[in-house]
Structure 1
Amino acid sequence: MVEFFRLIKAKDVVYECGPGCSCGSKCINRVSQHGLKFQLEVYRTKVKGWAVRSWDLIPAGAPVCEYTGLLRRNAEMDSVHDNDYIFDIDCLHTMHGIDGREKREGDVPVTSGTPEQVDATLRESDTEFCIDAGSCGNVTRFINHSCEPNLFVQCILSSHHDLRLARIVLFAADDIDPMTELTYDYAYRLGSVTDEDGNVKELECHCGTSECRGRLY
């Protein structure tokens, strides 16, 4: 039987025990640190390219997989336009509900100033770091977007407390039946993706859900 701990509801950020803690691997505060517990399969779809599903039932709140790749500064990626496997580490923006992100519960002091000053600062700044899974990564990079997803993205800190370098882990938002496609919300802001000439790119969304917004970006 698969054993794991669960995160019932998405938080702004989760602090887990790290290498400096005296607890062992069975500590309940190491939810995301036990590796893959489900048999995940990459398969081909008709309209969305590659996709991922699980052969096993995934209970709500279970950690599914971590988005891995090369840690890069976003400034390094300004000239890269054909890499679809870049994940911005945008924990600060998510915590404050910036650029259309859904603000989550939490009580983590991250910067000084009034809420208005914090929001203005974040709106004027892009995320500093990203995870580039274009040349190396794991199965997570093939998980598709959905406007009504069955996974949620969670920022996790364990070996350090730098929000700019948080780990990105996907958790099950609901019970997920075997052979169901796994999806999460990419949370693109419309008009935020451009080509090498600076022209805004548009991509139709094919998630097919009742909440579909029509465009991915």
Structure 2
Amino acid sequence: MEEKLKECRVPCKASFGQLETLCRAEQVTCQPLGITKDNLLEYEVEYLCDYKRKVNKNRDTQQEYFLVKWKGFPESMNSWEPRKNLKCVKLLCQFWEDLLKEMQKQRRRMVPKQLDAATASYLVQRAKQRQTLERWERHLNSLGSHHARICVHNHVDLEGPPKNFTYITDYKVGDGITLTQVALGCECADCLESPVGGCCAGASQHRFAYNNAGQVRVRPGLPIYECNKRCRCGPDCPNRVVQRGVRYSLGIFRTDDGRGWGVRTMERIRKNTFVMEYVGEIITTEEAERRGHIYDKEGATYLFDLDYVDDEYTVDAAHYGNISHFVNHSCDPNLQVYNVFIENLDERLPRIAFFATRSIKAGEELTFDYKMHIDPVDAESTKMDSNFGLTGLPGSPKKRQRVECKCGMESCRKYLF
């Protein structure tokens, strides 16, 4: 029995922070937690909880004090410390930023000598929220699919990371659906300059989609066929763009106009360049219809029809998705949808890629049109109408409850659906 239990492991119900607090309270060293004899009694500021000013005995000056939550110690050991004892410049700046914003909300010109309980409680909640968002940000960047960086900010309210949401980097295939892997690849030595048989796009009787800078050059509505794992070309092939993943640093932020979370770019994005994929769970239209009724009651949906040739499958990003889960609608969007085929050539199951419709400035919010339609220039382009969020409702979209649009654009249609 003892032999069998040697490799037995179970998850701990306590977090690392709780374990560290317990070890320091009991003065127990723990190597995995980084608690040694040398730093067992070290005190590090985790965050600041409260503030007050006291007049010195000579009454000529005032001394500032901060209530400190010590890292690795329970809140019962919080202590008031004079400003001169604190070396945590970043935490002090964050505390003052939060406090001054709260004073503005309360329409108070001066910070009082002693904060009331409600204000102090709010500052603690902000500090804990900031820690939660920072942990989530580290987790998103640890997944390795985003070649630049994802930042997370909320300067609006106390909302933390979304609940019941798992960040994924590729499609999650639902029950009863099979992705057929590609069986053939191109034989090109240089896919852009010397494509053999038109490369992968030509084999499907379509144009090569990109120029030498990786910018899309085909009309919206036409499919994109990228090189795959069976192709002779290497990873630097100019016909491998979407599969390389996100290349721009992006920020998930809380909007201040009631639209929930949004996404902005942290750097300039050139026109016609790939920005991100819409990733989620692939489900059948029947399952999408069932879920759609539930989502409609909740007032939100993340269903995206894969209707390039037949309306058989849908991507649901409600509970499984990537950064595109947080991209908001606009009636004048800066992102355009394209259907992309790489390892799977089943035209019923394209990958959904967003490309920039114009040059996008650093700090600008990224948006796409939830009810985007492609001008029917030819028979091919009529196949790809982006029907986001309409799945699950019988009959015409007019039957659903109208949702007010908050994009704020001059061309706003006033309603999403």
Q: Please give the range of the TM-score, normalised by the shorter of the 2 chains.
A: 0.7 to 0.9
TM-score, normalised by the number of residues in structure 1: 0.76
Alignment counterpart, residue 358 of structure 2, candidates 154, 158, 174: 174
> Which one of the candidate residues 219, 223, 226 is aligned to 1:16?
226
* Partner residue of 1:205 out of 388, 405, 417: 405
Q: Which runs of 5+ in 1 are unaligned?
A: 93-121
Secondary structure at the counterpart of residue 354 of structure 2 = strand
1:5 aligns with 214
Cα deviation for residue 18 of structure 1 reads 1.2
Alignment partners' CA distance in 2, 1:13 and 1:207: 29
The partner residue of 2:369 within 152, 173, 185 is 185
**Which residue does the alignment assign to 2:272?**
61
Report 1:1-217 matches (<5 A).
Answer: 5-8=214-217, 9-45=219-255, 46-80=257-291, 81-82=294-295, 84-92=301-309, 127-187=311-371, 192=390, 200-217=400-417
- 1:160 CA drift (Å): 2.5
Could you tell me which amino acid in structure 2 is paired with residue 86 of structure 1?
L
Letter in 2 for 1:215: Y
**Which letter maps to 1:209?**
M
Letter matched to residue 90 of structure 1: D
| Distance (Å, rounded) in 2 between the aligned partners of 1:75 and 1:204 | 27
State the 1:78 CA deviation.
1.7
- Unaligned regions of 5+ residues in structure 2, if any? 1-147, 149-211, 373-386
Cα offset, 1:71, TM superposition: 1.1
- Structure 2 CA distance for aligned equivalents of residues 214 and 141 of structure 1: 22
Question: How far apart, CA to CA, are the structure 2 residues paired with 1:184 and 1:4?
Answer: 23
Alignment correspondent of 1:118:
none
- Counterpart residue identity of residue 253, structure 2: Y
Percent identity over the alignment is 35
Q: Does 172-181 or 204-213 show the bigger shift?
A: 204-213
Answer whether contact 2:336 2:356 (CA < 8 A) is retained: yes
Shift of 1:205: 0.9
Deviation at 1:168, TM superposition (A): 0.3
Q: Distance in 1 between matches of 2:307 and 2:263?
A: 24
Q: Is the 8 A contact 1:58 1:172 kept in 2?
A: yes
Q: State the Cα distance separating 1:172 from its structure 2 match.
A: 0.6
Deviation at 1:194, TM superposition (A): 7.1
* Cα displacement (A) at 1:193: 6.8
Instruction: Verify the 8 A CA contact 1:155 1:168 in the aligned structure 2.
Output: yes
C-alpha distance 135-194 of structure 1, shift in aligned 2 (>3 A): closer
In structure 2, distance between residues paired with 1:35 and 1:4 = 15
Change (3 A) 1:58 1:141: same
| Cα distance change of structure 1 residues 73 and 204 upon mapping to structure 2, 3 Å threshold | same
Mapped contact 1:129–1:165 kept (Cα < 8 A): yes
Q: Distance in 2 between matches of 1:172 and 1:200?
A: 30
Superposed CA RMSD in Å reads 2.6
Distance 1:27 1:59, change over 3 A: same
Offset, 1:10: 2.7
8 A contact 1:151–1:184 mirrored in 2: yes
The more displaced of 63-72 and 2-11 is 2-11
AA paired with 1:146?
Answer: S
Which has the bigger relative contact order, CA under 8 A and spacing at least 6? 1
